[in-house]
Amino acid sequence: MLAGPVEIVGTGLIGTSIALACRRAGLEVLLTDSTPDHVRTATGLGAGRPRAEDDVPQLVVVAVPPDALGGVIARALDAAGPETVVTDVGSVKAGPLAAVGGHPGLSRYVGSHPMAGTEHSGPLSASAELFDGRPWAITPGPDATPAATRVVEALALVCGAVPVHLSPVEHDRAVARTSHVPHLMASLVAGTLAGAAPDHLALSGTGVRDVTRVAGGDPELYSQIISGNASAVATLLTEIRERLDLALEAVAGGDRVGLESLLAYGQAGTRAIPGKHGAAPQPMAAVRVALPDQPGGLARLFADAGDSGVNIEDVRIDHDPGRPVGLVEIDVVADRAEELRSVLESRGWATLS
């Protein structure tokens, strides 16, 4: 279905990660970016080769910032061959589709959106594994042909992702809830840390890091993303503002029952998030390991964890402010945690309960 070549327009974090995943599958990849250095860097990483004038890609993947999507998709539809399919990976889907409305090549355009990323930008942060097991929204407009949709679905599969089909409007409503509002909330919480006293910040544990990580993303990119989905984001913000008022009243008025009910509602929300590959959420447990601050320590720990045969779902590293020791929290499926702990202890690692 996807035979290549695949052209990537925009060789930043997402474009270069897709290019690397396509290369991993043996596909020919052509690279384009308005910043020639990014093409050079991506080429150096093994993501493909610069596109030549006479190349005819089977699929063009547009991975540029949201404000530039409409123009770049239209140019890709103009420039590509009559059979070439064009997709984009922008975080909002109704806007780019509207921007190319009426284009004669519209039947070859199918929007999409991989639900994976990091708080970093640019080709140097890219990874072929970024999309493994992650949802990838496929959002054909009414004019898209089934054949073009299948090509874009094949791209998601080549990248190791799980395709999820929905309309552009439904997509935008969904990601307001699962991505855009969470990002904004993380930024509001993280903002309370800027300028805080260093001896207060020294008490930062994993909780505050978990809640604020995404707020480290590029403000220019996220302001484009959130503005591009303004109506769905504003609807949810209004809901949250009402609950924030209730939280304020409960805290200020010492209403423990009201507070518990707000916290229970939040807990129910965390439990509603599906597990990996869209499966039902599985209970997780963290195995906590003391890691001496020495070169190669983490590699040895991962090798020993790998030998246990227990899959690592997530990892966090924290540093003891007073000692040259790190604390590594390895998340695994709860019923395998004891197995991992006992293998690590048998290899000399100190685990903490």
Ligand X SMILES: NC(=O)c1ccc[n+]([C@@H]2O[C@H](COP(=O)([O-])OP(=O)(O)OC[C@H]3O[C@@H](n4cnc5c(N)ncnc54)[C@H](O)[C@@H]3O)[C@@H](O)[C@H]2O)c1
The answer to the question of residue 91 lying near ligand PRE (CB under 6 A) is yes
Question: Residue from 25, 40, 68, 170 that binds ligand X (CB under 6 A)?
Answer: 68
Residue 127 in contact with ligand X, rule: CB under 6 A = no
How near is the Cβ of 69 to ligand PRE at its closest, in Å? 12
Report CA-CA distances (Å) from 258 to 236, 238, 254, 271, 275: 21, 20, 9, 20, 30
Structure tokens at 320: 């003891």
Shortest distance (Å) from residue 214 CB to ligand PRE = 4
The whole-angstrom separation of Cα 249 and Cα 153 is 48
Residues 148-187, one symbol each (x = binds ligand X by CB under 6 A, - = not), give ----------------------------------------
- Chosen from ligand X, ligand PRE, none, partner binding at 35 (C-beta under 5 to 8 Å by type): ligand X
Residue 8 bridge partners (DSSP): 31, 61
If contact means CB under 5 to 8 A according to the sort of partner, which of ligand PRE, ligand X, none does residue 63 touch?
A: ligand X
Give 3-state DSSP helix, strand, coil % of the chain, rounded to 5: 50, 15, 35
Strand order in the sheet with 135-139: 111-114, 135-139, 162-165
Which option in ligand X, ligand PRE, none does residue 179 bind, with CB closer than 5 to 8 A by kind? ligand PRE
Asked if 13 is part of the footprint of ligand X (rule: CB under 6 A), the reply reads: yes
**Binding status of residue 115 toward ligand PRE by CB under 6 A:** yes
Given ligand X, ligand PRE, none, residue 13, with its beta carbon under 5 to 8 Å by kind, binds ligand X
Tokens of 307: 């030998």
Q: Which stretch binds ligand PRE (CB under 6 A): 116-124, 274-282, 283-291, 310-318?
A: 116-124
Residue closer to ligand PRE (CB basis): 115 or 262: 115
| C-alpha–C-alpha distance, residues 41 and 47, integer Å | 9
Between 57 and 117, CB nearer to ligand PRE: 117
DSSP designation for 54: T
63 binding ligand X? (CB under 6 A): yes
Residue of the chain from 214, 215, 332, 340 that contacts ligand PRE (CB under 6 A): 214
Q: Is 72 a residue that touches ligand X (CB under 6 A)?
A: yes
| Residue 109 DSSP symbol | B
| Spatial separation of the C-alpha atoms in residues 320 and 202, rounded to whole Å | 10
Report what 214 binds from ligand X, ligand PRE, none; CB cut-off 5-8 Å by kind: ligand PRE
Q: How far is CA 267 from CA 264, 272, 273, 314, in A?
A: 5, 9, 11, 20
Binding range to ligand PRE, per CB under 6 A, among 2-10, 69-77, 115-123, 191-199: 115-123
What is the distance between the alpha carbons of residues 163 and 236, in angstroms, rounded to a whole number?
26
The residues that bridge with 287 in the sheet, in sequence order, are: 330
Measured between alpha carbons, how far is 274 from 165 in angstroms, rounded to an integer?
Answer: 17
Q: How far is the CB of 98 from ligand X (least distance, A)?
A: 15
Counting beta carbons within 10 angstroms of the beta carbon of residue 197, is it exposed (0 to 12), middle (13 to 18) or buried (19 or more)?
exposed
Judged by CB under 6 A, which of 16, 179, 212, 229 binds ligand PRE? 179
Catalog residues that contact ligand X under the rule CB under 6 A: 9-15, 33-35, 38, 63-66, 68, 72, 89-91, 113-114, 117, 121-122, 221, 225
Catalog residues that contact ligand PRE under the rule CB under 6 A: 91, 115-119, 179, 214
